[in-house]
Structure 1
Amino acid sequence: MEAKGCEDQYEHLQANIIYVVTNIPGPGIDLDEFESEFTCGCNCKQKCVENCSCSRFFLNYVDGCILNEKLCGPIVECNQYCKCDINCGNKLVQHGPLDCLKVTPTESNGNGLQTTKTIKKGQFICEYAGEVIGLEEAKSRIEANKRENSMNYVLVVSEHLNDRIIKTCIDPKLFGNIGRYCNHSCEPNSSLVPIRIEGIVPRLCLFASRDIKQWEEITFNYGGEESNSVHNLSDTPCLCGSSKCIRYLPHHPI
């Protein structure tokens, strides 16, 4: 069976976690910036092709799958002001997560995210959504989790845009979606890509970096491309079980 996008109707098993289908603003975030939206869109008719201004005149997706060279992001999808329709190929993330995601206990990493169907390489899986928080708040929460020996869900993603580095911090510990159950692996089968749809604050989206088999656990690298450096390793043991395991969970320097 083929995995397809669907309206997000997933739920959390724990009553103390509030389900959010996409990001919400948290402490340390400029609310005006978070709520700001793009005010114009492309002039494409029905479906966008290579000359779409939103995709910067290069395709992001082909046949519902992200192109390899786009896995490092960033990507801008078409928005509500675009003249193309909902079936435009540059509106992939907006169709929602895959319909085959299941939260399942793992042997060593608590709960994990499993697929009940085969996922093709390049397919959008789901967002890693939660509270978007400021850098200082992220530092504070990471330190608190360390002191309390509790699970850390804070994810920090850096984007190199021209001569600027933009850092986005997301914490789905109390407000999150199905993506919060996706575990780290030193040999992952998915990649995290910043996608902008409504405005300048990105959504962090998981895409299959290879074909993922039915009943396989979905994983990504918590440290991103910078995780290979020994300076970016935490003191938390990694239990991913990969032959390429680097022994400790990576963390993104803030």
Structure 2
Amino acid sequence: MGRHFAHAFVNAGWRVAAIARSSAVLASLGHDDRTIALPCKVTGPASVNRPVVGTVNPFDRLDPVVANVAIFRLFAFEGASDAVIRDHIEVNVLGASWTIRAAIPHLHATRGQIEAHFHHRDLPDRDCNLPAAAKPPRQSNAKETVPMPALPELTPENTPFWTGGAQGELRIAFCADCARAIHPPQLVCPGCLSERVEPRAVPGTGTVYTFTINHQPWVPDLDVPFAIAVVEIDGAPNVRITARVVGSDPESVHIGQRMTVIFHQAEDVWLPQWRPLP
């Protein structure tokens, strides 16, 4: 994630597992019960799988994944040989992609997020702004029978989705020009590049595309097992939403099952959950 970001996370009180090729950079973090230094030479998917496992095993969870990608370093392209460019792309593009892919199953379990930050190595060092993921997780103050995960950070593009539950609406972003359903929500349509993107309420029903049953108590007092389903959304072609299934035996969830959305309020966020239709 880069030296500055790593120190910012540590200073914010987070437990940090830093993956880097440079032993000197890792040594600067020190080593205690809140930091893990994981040297990694990016040679293929297996080389990044090991550090991901090396994070989850001692910490029991994985929340944000932060990639500080130096893809725009001028020296890596200007006058560089094919071998240098190939190594640069393999580490900064393939390496980041392999790491994210390896982390995604753990991020699903903790509702974690991926942060990508770009910097220019030739610029002098400067204080960095702490990324949103490094802010201490917002937790619900309400009394819950199920421990709440870190809540999503509200942004202009995702606020309609995360707050639509206040009106009992599942709101999906649509392009006003090409009618494409866009999820996760974005400010620009990835299909036609129109900026006329607007939220619309959809019926709030759908069909289970796939699911998993979690038996791991990731946090204290978490009731297990429970099912998490990926549901194809009615009225929003190609949109699938992953959420917890409530109101039924986890073992009864199956592919093709019809679901309806309900919402659980936690602070200023309404989390979608799936309930089987009769």
- Please give the TM-score of this superposition, normalised by the length of structure 1: 0.23
Greater share of residues in helix: 2
User: Comparing both chains, which one has the higher relative contact order based on Cα–Cα distances under 8 Å and sequence gaps of 6 or more?
Assistant: 1
